[in-house]
């Protein structure tokens, strides 16, 4: 099959640059991942499906630049270092090659931990650019539900500029699409936080959208879900950004804190607060439920409005790599994985390959504890 591969796509999800828990900080595991990426070049696209730069539990400076920071037990490996290392490894493998030869296109789809990226860029579109042009702000079409920044339209491209590939970099929200021309079929790649009601301020997609049939009602509900998700992400980012704030709630409701000395009711309230502000803590390492599979269909059909539902759906968010098929429409769903340790695997990711017939095949890959890369 390898000899018949026409194009390759790489999907890296939930790398969480900036957090000490990410396996990308361990030179053994990131070295194995980088060597694999370079060895399999060229890639048609390298797609980061969310939680790339962790702004919730870290800062943009730490996530991008890495380095040694007070209070952290080990150095952080930043995203800029990741790109630099990919470029240098390409040159080591073949002297005349560099980052330009690694991939035709780089795509970044923000998730919930890096929602701030979408927030910054979309605010520029509907506020800064409108105001700077002299137009009235109330003429802007809001909320901005989807957008694409190519090259220097996004500050993210500046990380790639030293290597001459800034024009090949894009930021897209909420989805990235890959089309396979022979079958005229679409694959949707996204982060997946809209499938999780804890990230949408309690708005479960299937519960909200499944019974709605009137286009106006669907539009109203979609707008409501989008706005309330944005509101929740703003609150979660503000709360989790401050380490002391997180420690306060851990002391209140954690097993070693003084909260255990309070009444049962007080503990329940404290636990609820932790779940409210940091719901992803309880979602890591969870397989998809039947309700979440239904949410996938509602997300694609109702929330995104695809007239023809895509055959394939690739996401991350839960940190649990896996394969599922939705019950009603048979959409093949793949969780690419993460750079957080799960089921003994330090790093999990996905590749997509097309053969001579143009049929895509999604491969789930793992970096094992022995720093070897194998299919899941």
* 156-208 confidence digits (pLDDT tens): 999 999 999 999 999 999 999 999 876 688 999 999 999 999 899 889 999 99
Rg over alpha carbons for the chain, rounded to the nearest Å, is 21
Using CB atoms within 10 A of its CB, is residue 137 exposed (0-12), middle (13-18) or buried (19+)? exposed
> Which pLDDT score is estimated for 319?
95
Tokens of 220: 């109203």
Instruction: Give percent above pLDDT 70 in the chain.
Output: 85
DSSP label at 73?
Answer: S
Q: Is there a domain that residue 54 lies in?
A: yes
> Which pLDDT score is estimated for 237?
80
CA dihedral sign, ordered 306, 311, 312, 318: positive
**Which CATH number covers residue 131?**
3.60.21
User: CB neighbours (10 Å) of residue 358?
Assistant: 14
Q: Is there a domain that residue 178 lies in?
A: yes
Expressed as residue numbers, the domain containing 326 is 2-192+315-375
Contact partners, residue 301, CB within 8 Å, separation at least 6: 309
Residue written as token pair 């007239």: 307
Q: Which of 249, 46, 262 is nearest to 160 (CA)?
A: 46
**∠ CA(185), CA(190), CA(192), 5° rounding?**
125
Q: Is there a domain that residue 217 lies in?
A: no
Reported as a pLDDT band with limits 50, 70 and 90, residue 249 is very low
Distance CA 312, CA 192 (A): 14
Whether the predicted pLDDT of 25 surpasses 80 = yes
Phi, psi of 171 (to 5 degrees): -115, 130
> Which pLDDT score is estimated for 261?
41
Decide: helix, strand or coil at residue 314.
strand
Whether the predicted pLDDT of 281 surpasses 60 = no
> Which pLDDT score is estimated for 263?
44
Q: Is there a domain that residue 43 lies in?
A: yes
pLDDT averaged over every residue in the chain? 88
Report the range of poorest mean pLDDT among 132-136, 180-184, 206-210, 295-299: 180-184
Q: Is there a domain that residue 24 lies in?
A: yes
SS (H, E, C) the chain: CHHHCCEEEEEECCCCECCCCCHHHCHHHHHHHHHHHHHCCCEEEEEECCCCECCCCCCHHHHHHCECCCCCCCCECCHHHHHHHHHHHHHHHCCCCCHHHCEEEEEECCCCCCHHHHHHHHHHHHHHHHHHCCCCHHHCCCCCCCEEEEHHHCHHHHHCHHHCCHHHEEEEECEEEEEECCCCEEEEEECCHHHCHHHCCCCCHHHHHCCCCCHHHHHHHHHHHHHHHHHHHHHHHHHHHCHHHHHHHHHHHCCCCHHHHCCHHHHHHHHHHHHHHCHHHHCCCCCCCHHHHHHHHHHHHHHCCCCCCCCEEEECCCCCCEEEECCCCCCEEEECCCCCCECCECEEEEEEEECCCCCEEEEEEEECCCCCEEEC
> Which pLDDT score is estimated for 186?
94
Q: Is there a domain that residue 40 lies in?
A: yes
Whether the predicted pLDDT of 250 surpasses 70 = no
Domain count, the chain: 1
Reported as a pLDDT band with limits 50, 70 and 90, residue 240 is low
Distance CA 364, CA 190 (A): 16
Whether the predicted pLDDT of 244 surpasses 80 = no
Q: Is there a domain that residue 286 lies in?
A: no
pLDDT digits (tens, 9 = 90+) for 42-97: 999 999 999 999 998 899 999 999 999 998 999 999 999 999 999 999 999 888 99
Q: Is there a domain that residue 48 lies in?
A: yes
């Amino acid at each position: 099959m390898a000899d018949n591969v026409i194009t390759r796509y790489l999907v890296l999800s939930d790398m969480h640059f900036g957090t000490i828990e990410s396996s990308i900080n361990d030179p053994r595991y990131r070295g194995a991942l980088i060597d694999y990426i370079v060895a399999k070049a060229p890639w048609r696209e390298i797609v980061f499906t969310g939680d790339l730069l962790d702004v919730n539990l870290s800062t943009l400076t730490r996530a991008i630049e890495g380095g040694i920071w007070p209070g952290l037990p080990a150095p952080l490996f930043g995203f800029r270092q990741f790109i630099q290392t990919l470029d240098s490894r390409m040159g080591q493998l073949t002297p005349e090659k560099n980052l330009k030869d690694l991939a035709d296109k780089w795509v970044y789809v923000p998730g919930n931990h890096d929602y701030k990226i979408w927030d910054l860029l979309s605010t520029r579109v509907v506020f800064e650019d409108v105001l700077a042009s002299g137009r009235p702000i109330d003429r802007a079409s809001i909320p901005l539900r989807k957008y694409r920044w190519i090259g220097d339209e996004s500050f993210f491209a500046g990380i790639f500029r030293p290597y001459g590939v800034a024009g090949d970099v894009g930021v897209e929200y909420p989805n990235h699409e890959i089309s396979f021309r022979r079958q005229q079929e679409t694959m949707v790649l996204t982060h997946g936080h809209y499938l999780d009601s804890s990230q949408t301020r309690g708005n479960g997609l299937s519960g909200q959208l499944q019974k709605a049939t009137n286009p106006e009602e669907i539009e109203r509900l979609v707008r409501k879900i989008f706005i309330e998700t944005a509101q929740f992400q703003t609150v979660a980012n503000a709360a989790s950004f401050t380490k002391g704030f997180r420690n306060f709630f851990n002391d209140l409701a954690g097993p070693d804190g003084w909260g255990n000395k309070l009444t049962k009711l007080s503990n329940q309230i404290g636990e609820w607060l932790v779940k409210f502000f940091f719901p992803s803590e309880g979602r890591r390492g969870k397989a998809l439920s039947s309700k979440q599979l239904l949410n996938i269909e509602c997300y694609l059909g109702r929330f995104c409005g695809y007239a023809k539902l895509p055959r394939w759906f690739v996401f991350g968010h839960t940190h649990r790599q896996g394969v599922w098929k939705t019950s009603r429409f048979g959409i093949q769903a793949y969780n690419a994985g993460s750079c957080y340790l799960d089921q003994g695997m330090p790093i999990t990711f996905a590749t997509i390959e097309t053969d001579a017939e143009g049929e895509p095949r999604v491969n789930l890959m793992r970096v094992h504890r022995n720093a070897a890369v194998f299919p899941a």
